[in-house]
Amino acid sequence: MQISSDAASLRAQVAEWRRNGERIGFVPTMGNLHGGHLRLVDEARSRSDRVVVSIFVNPTQFGPGEDYANYPRTDAADRQALQAHATDCLFAPDVETLYPDGPALRTYVAVPELNDILCGASRPGHFTGVATVVTKLLNLVQPDLAVFGLKDYQQLLVIRRLVRDLLLPVEIVGGGIAREPDGLAMSSRNAYLGDAERRRAPTLYHTLQGLAARLEAGETDYPALCAEGRRQLSAAGLQPDYLEIRRAEDLGVASPDDHNLVIPAAAYLGRARLIDNIRVHRPGGEPS
């Protein structure tokens, strides 16, 4: 596995692969890799001749008081895991490589209709930081495809929108949500959970499962369903941030006439902020 920390060596390697006619897959991460990340690497491998993985804890997507300084960093273990999953190149830049004039955003990428809702409402500026760094990384790697996890559903839609609007020649693939045996979505921030919190954490997924079953059965009182879901989370000791029923294609507010839905949710539990979602196809429409 080649390890690059600068743009020149990364581009030289990618150019060599391109001269050989090889297809390049890319998985951007912030490190502290778990099974969910490695499933994305495997997905890229199944679709590509060469796989590049980046590890970069991006300062511009963290707000004041968030965990940028303390975000888990496990470089040695990450490298071993990537080697075991047949990664061809690890791109591990420092902040100066991606932000030569510092992380204050002079030029940035924003997706207005998705920036300020759901997670964006709770984390102002977060998705501008995400969209900007992903655009930088796609420009550096210039892959044929890039794989992003479906757990971060809003992020996935932000990236698909910016790729379409900026005419970037890359296919964006959504990789399935990896879960622990009790249903908790895998996340680097799960490490923040204490033992008692970890036992309560799967309530988020189980609540979404219950709401999805009721939608599939034909219930359409979305405000009542969301309110009940938030009460269930609160009763289990989680602090709901949001729980909504939205259109799957664009996260617009859903109506009873919409059939392809998503239930995104976020909740605080101790030091951790958990996010999850479930896609739902209601009877009467074509699956998206």
Q: Where in the sequence numbering do the catalytic residues fall? A: 37
- Average pLDDT of the segment spanning 115-143: 97
Q: Is the pLDDT of residue 253 over 80?
A: yes
- pLDDT for 285: 55
Calpha distance 276→153 (Å, rounded): 8
What is the homologous superfamily of the domain 2-175 according to CATH? HUPs (3.40.50.620)
Q: Is the pLDDT of residue 156 over 70?
A: yes
Domain ranges of the chain: 2-175, 188-280
Identical fold, 2-175 and 188-280: no
- pLDDT for 286: 57
Contact 45, 53 (CB under 8 A): no
Q: What is the pLDDT of residues 167-191, one digit of tens each?
A: 999 999 999 999 999 999 999 999 9
Task: Output the six-digit token pair for 53.
Answer: 């993985």
Tell me the C-alpha to C-alpha distance, in Å, between residue 104 and each of 5, 96, 132, 274: 21, 12, 12, 27
Task: Output the six-digit token pair for 239.
Answer: 């602090």
What is the Cβ-side half-sphere exposure of residue 2, based on CA atoms within 13 angstroms? 17
- Average pLDDT of the segment spanning 256-260: 94
Contact 135, 109 (CB under 8 A): yes
Nearest-5° angle of CA 25, CA 27, CA 33? 140
- pLDDT for 272: 96
Top-level class of domain 188-280: alpha beta
Question: 267: burial class by Cβ within 10 Å (0-12, 13-18, 19+)?
Answer: buried
